[in-house]
Structure 1
Amino acid sequence: MFKNYLKSALRSLTKNKGFTAINILGLALGLCVCMLIVFYVVDELGYDSYNTNANRIYRVNNDIKFGGSVNNYAVSPAPLAEAFRHDLPEVEDIARFRDRGGYKVRKGDHNIQEAHFVFADPSIFNVFTLPALYGNPVKALAEPKNAVITESMAVKYFATANAVGKTLTLNDTLLYKVGAVIKDVPRRSHFNYDFFLAMSGLDESKNGAWLSNNFNTYVLVKQGTDVNRMAAKFPSMVRKYVGGQLQAAVHMDYDKFEANGDYYHLQLMPLKKIHLYSSDIAELSANGNIQYVYIFSAVAIFILLIACVNFMNLSTARSANRAREVGVRKVLGSSRKQLISQFLSESVIVTFFATLIALAGAWALLPLFNQMADKQLLIDTATMLWLLPSLLVVVLVIGCLAGSYPAFFLSAFQPVQVLKGKLSSGFKGGFLRSFLVVFQFSISVFLIIGTLVIYHQLKYIQSKDLGFNRDQVLVVHNTDILGNNSKVFKQEVRTLPGVISSTMTGFIPTNSWRNSTTFFKDASLNMKEAVTSQVWDIDEDYIPTMGMKMAYGRNFSKDMKTDTAAVIVNEAAARLLGWRDASNKEIVGVQDNMGKVLKRYTIVGVVKDFNFNSLRENISPLLFKLNENRGALAVRIGAADVGSVMKQIKSKWQSVSPNQEFSYSFMDEDFDRTYRTEQRMGGIFIAFTSMAIIIACLGLFGLAAYAAEQRTKEIGIRKVLGASTSIIVGMLSRDFIKLVIISILVASPLAWLFMQQWFLQGFAYHDNVKWWVFAVAGGGAILIAFVTISFQSVKAAIANPVKSLKTE
């Protein structure tokens, strides 16, 4: 029986090659896009799953409201780990990371700057699954001057994976002994370190300050632990450990702290949720976004629906051509069940061939998709183990679902009626096809509008006045490795032709996190007048080099000795302090986390607000202090001199420090990198939207061909009666264009609601959805549909009417 179904199905499909090709191509495109999206989603959802105990590992986050601001930290206090270990029996083990930035590593006679360093507790290797190749990493980090490195770093610096016992020279003076070598950290990890230094060698790790958050802390809970019950103990722990230090620092007991509406909340973040659900302060790497997973999953479903709709539409549209076949089969004894099985077999075969083409297409397009999405996806053996069974299910499910309506629709024909030629597709068939066309193009228009809004928002971000001038600014990194030569380097650079100004600082106004401090209006430490602000150490050249503007007061001056106790605040900080012009006002700052040292500062100026965080966030309070910071040298260069000046700066660097790597970037590029994820997602969105439109147009093309075929005699008569080609094209296109217009009316308000009320609300600074977006999307959809339909319409209009009327 099955062999007969297969033979009949193949015969029917090859008989109608054009419609079969459209169905297979449409489904193949839809399935290909779905596969790529599934690869992306599986990859995103799989972060940190390599850990054996991933379901029992949590990061301790710290959410604090204090001094007029709310901060959600991915870090916690240094003593928290020991407190958890002592107070919570549910804890099996606990470990900390402290990221202090990169180091230069000696290789031969020169140094290489490496970014992926971290101080770590030995228990890190008990909490996370980081297999050792050589040595014992737990024992290794028990010694203060020991390091654990990855296999790739061992090969890079010692030409062998077994580097145990070798010595690492960091920043020319620090010596660390390699105590163990581990496998490289898996790509799908929310941290990516190559060098693990012993935490015991870091004095900061031993302090008892609960009001300072600098350590990423991970807790491994025991089997069967109810984490909600465990978290219920946190408030009493906070009161126990934080209360006394809060009283010492700001002379306020914890009850009053809470009565003011402030809070200090410890939260448990499941390890496997960090990558997609966390964007807190001091994340160890740039995380993904669950919103994109939802969006692309929805796009995959929509595109697959469009492809299935094509199949249903074309199959039901050609029902009249197969009506006599159904009638003859019924007269010869075929049951309705057998007919349904026959038509479903055809559908499954089409889906099978479409799936093969889609798999080949996904394999061919994967390198391009990786480039667009910044991924390293592979179709390897592990992928095929879950992909092939999934594709088999997809073939059966989509084949049966897409072919179900045509199968039931065709099998319901009455043999007497169809053999007499009295078949009519009827209202229901025509209405369903119209509804499905509207559904297809509604999705397409929705995606077009979404794509236009995304790109308009990105353009808005890139052209927005940030309050500083990021153009023509070269940033030379790691100038602190020059030591005392950093000042010499700055002075020599300033004398170069084409250099307008320069500033030595580690605080570049691109998206990053810095420590914050609380300031008060006076020594009474009134919490109602407190402001929690970031503090940047800058020199007197910083503000002019960055192109910032003063709102009130003055800039720092090296000629004013009193400026060592002076500060400049931004307008946001001045507003929170209750002053518009804060110049010549005094504030009091807490100098340490135990509240033992207070220092009085004079505000000498107010700088106009500028965006130093992502434009997803509002401008927060900021305070400048005149302090030396050798982290980087920012150089403003004349527009015509960039290339030549950069070469001269590199030459100056090599003359001052010939063995140090010259590392630089341009500030505008650093800014653009902040929104690289949005740019990548926008590019992918365009590609997927294009695919959706192509698939919808394939269906429209097939329906237009069918409509022209059904009205062949009518067209012939109209031509004989004098109808022009344009009139016939308009007649054949009119009904389809009406459906596209309805699609625009349906999709536009939904797209506006989604993009305006959901997507754009994720940005603190955004433009509203413009009217022209709907005009462009609607006009584009109509134009694309008209061009698609016109090909078949013109073909039918210019055909010789004699051929269509010769049998009449």
Structure 2
Amino acid sequence: MLKSHLKIAAKSLLKNRNVTLINIFGLALGLATCLLIIFYVVDELSYDRFNTNANRIYRVNTDINFGGNASSYAIGPPPLATEAAKNIPEVEKATRLLIATEIRFKKGGENISETKVGYADSTLFDVFTLPMLSGNPKTALKEPHTMIITRQAAMKYFNSIDAIGKSIAIVNENADYKVTGVIEDMPKQSHFNFDYLLSMATLEGSRGNVWNSFIYSTYLLAKPGTTQATLSKKLDALFQSHFEKQPGFNKDAFAKNGNYVRVDVTPLTDIHLLSNRQYELGANSSVTYVYIFSAIALFILLIACINFMNLSTARSANRAREVGVRKVLGSPRKYLIIQFLAESVMITLVSAIIAVLAAWALLPLFNQVAGKELSISLQTISWLFPALLLIVLVVGVLAGAYPAFYLSAFQPITVLKGKLSAGFKGGGFRNFLVVLQFSVSIFLIIGTIVIYNQLHYIQQKDLGFDRSHVMVVKNTTGLTNAQTLKQQVQQIAGVSSASLSGFLPTGSLRQPNSVFTSKVPNSRNSLFTEIWPVDEDYLPTMGMKLSQGRNFQKGNITDSLGVIINQTAANMLGFTGDVSSKKLYYIPEGQTDNAIKEYHVIGVVKDFNFKSLRDNITPVVMMLENNSGALSIKMEGADVKPFIPKIEAAWNQLSPNQHFEYSFMDEDFNAAYRTEQRTGTLFLVFTSLAVIIASLGLFSLAAYAAEQRNKEIGIRKVLGASVSAIVGMLSKDFIKLVVISFIIAAPLAWLAMHKWLEGFAYRQNMQWWVVAVSGVGAVVIAFATISTQSFKAAIANPAKSLKSE
């Protein structure tokens, strides 16, 4: 019996090729899109879950409110890990990581700058699951000047994973590090990714008992059954008991002005999607995008199923006599339902096969747009095929249920007498489906326009500095003659200025500390700020403007004790009017209160954005100090390509064994908003697909309407109705549905996108025209889709539809 149903279903589908192809195309497009989004969502949700004890690992966070400046960090003080493991019963193990900046390894006769370098405690393998290919995980990082490397790094430096006992020279430290372990390459789905991990025991500061310095990424392995709330509470209590014992610390005076320093923990599996703090070990994503794209996948799949229902119903007149004849010949209704469901499942199965092939073919392009490295592996296939089978059955039954029950309910007498229109029900349901389809489409159209407007606003906003035509030469710290390089570059024709400093508006290097307005430092006269060491050419190179005062002057000895502050710092310090007489006091890093130094304010620079536009501008204090972290070069003219070989030649002359690495400041700025740019592109792609699929739905309903009103159209034409009048008659009902969709979707989209924009401290307000353009665009798309069927019906020969009357 089943074989018979399948054979009849296949013949019926082949007989109605056009309808079958449209159904298959719509479902395949929806399923392929859904699959790509599922790959994306699964990848986002899988971060850090490769660790065996992922559900018991927590990272320490620090929240500071000091001097009116609140900040949140993904780091903790040096002794916290050891003390937590000793004194908190719920903590089984603890470990720390620290990013190593500007590390240069020696390979043969050249120096290679490596970026994926960090320091790690010997307890690293007690907390994280990092499969070791060779070496002892218990002892690999215990001794100073030892290191573990990944398989990729071993092949790069030794052409083999047999690297135990061999050494790599680190040029910065003028020291050799012995390789004591080789591990597998870290998974891409990790919130940190290192190729080289140096022993933390090498750093003397890592063993200190300083509780008011925050620098180490600290991780705790909790015992089974421990809750996040319990661990946070006990950890903060431990921290406060040590923090309050600092020399000269007055707890009551500190808290009186609203100051606080607190620690808590974040689950390891929440870091990638739910954490956006300063000093993260990598670029995290947002769970908001996972929710959005998951909803889009479901909506697109729903729209595709709706199209199937509508198109099957629209062609019902052609199947009505078949149903009537079958019923007269004694076919039970359940057999008719089974046959129609079989057709539906067969279409869904073919669509699923095409969707899998399309998703596989489009995966490289999707990776490029989404910034992912997704692939279909054996592990993917293990869950993909069962999931697809379930989707085929569920979608096939759901998409075919309405047509199956609808068509099988036809009364044979009514059908065979040609009075089919009297038996049609469910117009309201079909209208609801169209409204749902276009509500989703209009919502996505508004969202896409808002995202692109915000990205354009970010690109065009005056940031307070000029990032155009600024080339940043990296790793100049390793040069013994960085000043000579700067001088030579300044002599190149077309170079307007150059500055040596690793503290860039588009960089990640930060140096937070406190400055005071009195020689006796306390919480009442302090400001928690960033300290930037710069040279006298920094402001001109960055295109920054002074609101008052002057810039640092070359050769002016007194400027070594001068500072330039930004407007935010001046406001928070209460400096008004002329600031030239103002004093600031600063304790250099690692010094005691006795080493406090007096500085005089020589200028105020206009505020500039040096963090994400999601954050407000915070205080900055610039000091005239030597810092050769990077060489920034401001070039004249729009074409910067001719300058690159000249600058590289100067570099190679001074440092022939060092790789020449550079970037452009505008590209570095754009990289900070790559997530939003990718989101905007994905929104555009998915919105286009949703509109295409929704248009297929309208196309099917327009065909249905024209078919149902075939005789009416013929009579109207005989009585003199024009083509335009008939097209308008057939289109107006659908346009009404699109207008209703707009009324529903517009306020929802407005609220949702307004909420998204609230994540930016600097944003463009939503404009009324965004909603208007979306509504007009939806109506135009709908009319263009409907009019194709309406025009076809309007120009048809009325004699064909009336010949039996």
Q: Which amino acid is 1:711 matched to?
A: R
Q: Report the alpha carbon displacement of residue 526 of structure 1 after superposing the two structures with TM.
A: 4.7
- 2:171 is matched with which residue? 171
Farther off after superposition, 153-162 or 639-648: 639-648
Secondary structure of residue in 1 paired with 2:18: helix
Farther off after superposition, 395-404 or 491-500: 395-404
Q: Which amino acid is 1:349 matched to?
A: M
Q: Report the alpha carbon displacement of residue 513 of structure 1 after superposing the two structures with TM.
A: 4.9
The 5 A counterparts of 1:192-341 are: 192-245=193-246, 248=248, 251-253=249-251, 255-341=252-338
Q: Which amino acid is 1:472 matched to?
A: H
The CA deviation string for residues 368-418 of structure 1, in whole angstroms up to 9 with x for no partner, is 101111111111211110000001111111112222223333333344444
- 2:727 is matched with which residue? 729
Secondary structure of residue in 2 paired with 1:149: strand
For the residues of structure 2 that align with 1:183 and 1:546, how far apart are their CA atoms? 42
Residue 566 in 1 paired to residue 562 in 2?
A: yes
Q: Report the alpha carbon displacement of residue 514 of structure 1 after superposing the two structures with TM.
A: 1.0
Q: Report the alpha carbon displacement of residue 525 of structure 1 after superposing the two structures with TM.
A: 3.4
Secondary structure of residue in 2 paired with 1:424: helix
The CA deviation string for residues 699-733 of structure 1, in whole angstroms up to 9 with x for no partner, is 11122222223333333333333333333322222
- 1:788 is matched with which residue? 785
Cα distance change, pair 573–351 in 1 and its aligned pair in 2 (3 A): same
Q: Which amino acid is 2:23 matched to?
A: N
For the residues of structure 2 that align with 1:571 and 1:274, how far apart are their CA atoms? 34
For the residues of structure 2 that align with 1:69 and 1:552, how far apart are their CA atoms? 23
The CA deviation string for residues 117-161 of structure 1, in whole angstroms up to 9 with x for no partner, is 111111112211111112224323111011111111111111111
For the residues of structure 2 that align with 1:406 and 1:67, how far apart are their CA atoms? 68
Q: Which amino acid is 1:68 matched to?
A: G
Residue 779 in 1 paired to residue 779 in 2?
A: no
For the residues of structure 2 that align with 1:354 and 1:273, how far apart are their CA atoms? 36
The CA deviation string for residues 495-535 of structure 1, in whole angstroms up to 9 with x for no partner, is 11101011100011115251211222213435244211011
For the residues of structure 1 that align with 2:721 and 2:413, how far apart are their CA atoms? 38
1:586·1:601 contact (CA, 8 Å) conserved in 2?
yes
**Which structure 2 segments of 5+ residues have no match?**
none
For the residues of structure 1 that align with 2:345 and 2:734, how far apart are their CA atoms? 29
**Which structure 1 segments of 5+ residues have no match?**
none
The CA deviation string for residues 573-609 of structure 1, in whole angstroms up to 9 with x for no partner, is 1111112343321122233566453222211111100
For the residues of structure 1 that align with 2:317 and 2:120, how far apart are their CA atoms? 73
- 1:92 is matched with which residue? 92
For the residues of structure 1 that align with 2:550 and 2:395, how far apart are their CA atoms? 70
- 1:443 is matched with which residue? 440
- 2:491 is matched with which residue? 495
Identity of aligned residues (%): 55
Q: Which amino acid is 1:675 matched to?
A: Y
Partner residue of 1:648 out of 643, 646, 649: 646
Q: Report the alpha carbon displacement of residue 783 of structure 1 after superposing the two structures with TM.
A: 1.8
Secondary structure of residue in 2 paired with 1:778: helix
Secondary structure of residue in 1 paired with 2:758: helix
Secondary structure of residue in 1 paired with 2:60: strand
1:32·1:361 contact (CA, 8 Å) conserved in 2?
yes
For the residues of structure 1 that align with 2:59 and 2:615, how far apart are their CA atoms? 24
Secondary structure of residue in 2 paired with 1:101: coil
2:122·2:139 contact (CA, 8 Å) conserved in 1?
yes
Q: Which amino acid is 1:678 matched to?
A: E
Residue 157 in 1 paired to residue 153 in 2?
A: no
For the residues of structure 2 that align with 1:370 and 1:630, how far apart are their CA atoms? 37
Farther off after superposition, 203-212 or 622-631: 203-212
Partner residue of 1:540 out of 523, 536, 539: 536
Q: Report the alpha carbon displacement of residue 113 of structure 1 after superposing the two structures with TM.
A: 1.2
- 1:351 is matched with which residue? 348
Q: CA RMSD in A?
A: 1.9
For the residues of structure 1 that align with 2:317 and 2:460, how far apart are their CA atoms? 57
- 1:401 is matched with which residue? 398
- 1:612 is matched with which residue? 610
Farther off after superposition, 333-342 or 618-627: 333-342
Partner residue of 2:622 out of 621, 624, 649: 624
- 1:69 is matched with which residue? 69
Q: Report the alpha carbon displacement of residue 332 of structure 1 after superposing the two structures with TM.
A: 4.0
The CA deviation string for residues 324-373 of structure 1, in whole angstroms up to 9 with x for no partner, is 44344444444444433333222222211111111111111111101111
- 1:80 is matched with which residue? 80
Farther off after superposition, 15-24 or 491-500: 15-24
1:145·1:197 contact (CA, 8 Å) conserved in 2?
yes
For the residues of structure 1 that align with 2:364 and 2:639, how far apart are their CA atoms? 38
Q: Report the alpha carbon displacement of residue 493 of structure 1 after superposing the two structures with TM.
A: 0.7
Residue 557 in 1 paired to residue 558 in 2?
A: no
For the residues of structure 1 that align with 2:737 and 2:724, how far apart are their CA atoms? 20
Cα distance change, pair 511–751 in 1 and its aligned pair in 2 (3 A): farther
- 2:503 is matched with which residue? 507
Secondary structure of residue in 1 paired with 2:304: helix
Secondary structure of residue in 2 paired with 1:643: coil
Secondary structure of residue in 1 paired with 2:769: helix
Secondary structure of residue in 2 paired with 1:762: coil
Residue 459 in 1 paired to residue 456 in 2?
A: yes
For the residues of structure 1 that align with 2:21 and 2:525, how far apart are their CA atoms? 72
Partner residue of 1:366 out of 359, 363, 367: 363
- 2:134 is matched with which residue? 134
The two structures have a TM-score, normalised by structure 2, of: 0.96
For the residues of structure 2 that align with 1:157 and 1:425, how far apart are their CA atoms? 81
The CA deviation string for residues 297-329 of structure 1, in whole angstroms up to 9 with x for no partner, is 011011111111112222333344433443444
For the residues of structure 1 that align with 2:118 and 2:395, how far apart are their CA atoms? 49
1:281·1:513 contact (CA, 8 Å) conserved in 2?
no
Farther off after superposition, 294-303 or 90-99: 90-99
Q: Report the alpha carbon displacement of residue 545 of structure 1 after superposing the two structures with TM.
A: 1.0
For the residues of structure 1 that align with 2:733 and 2:524, how far apart are their CA atoms? 67
- 1:110 is matched with which residue? 110
- 2:705 is matched with which residue? 707
The CA deviation string for residues 139-198 of structure 1, in whole angstroms up to 9 with x for no partner, is 231110111111111111111111112121112622111112111111111111011111
1:552·1:607 contact (CA, 8 Å) conserved in 2?
yes
The CA deviation string for residues 546-580 of structure 1, in whole angstroms up to 9 with x for no partner, is 11011111111233212222111111111111123
For the residues of structure 2 that align with 1:712 and 1:244, how far apart are their CA atoms? 89
The two structures have a TM-score, normalised by structure 1, of: 0.96
Partner residue of 1:687 out of 680, 685, 688: 685
Cα distance change, pair 714–187 in 1 and its aligned pair in 2 (3 A): same
For the residues of structure 2 that align with 1:33 and 1:589, how far apart are their CA atoms? 57
1:584·1:605 contact (CA, 8 Å) conserved in 2?
no
Secondary structure of residue in 2 paired with 1:642: coil
2:228·2:267 contact (CA, 8 Å) conserved in 1?
no
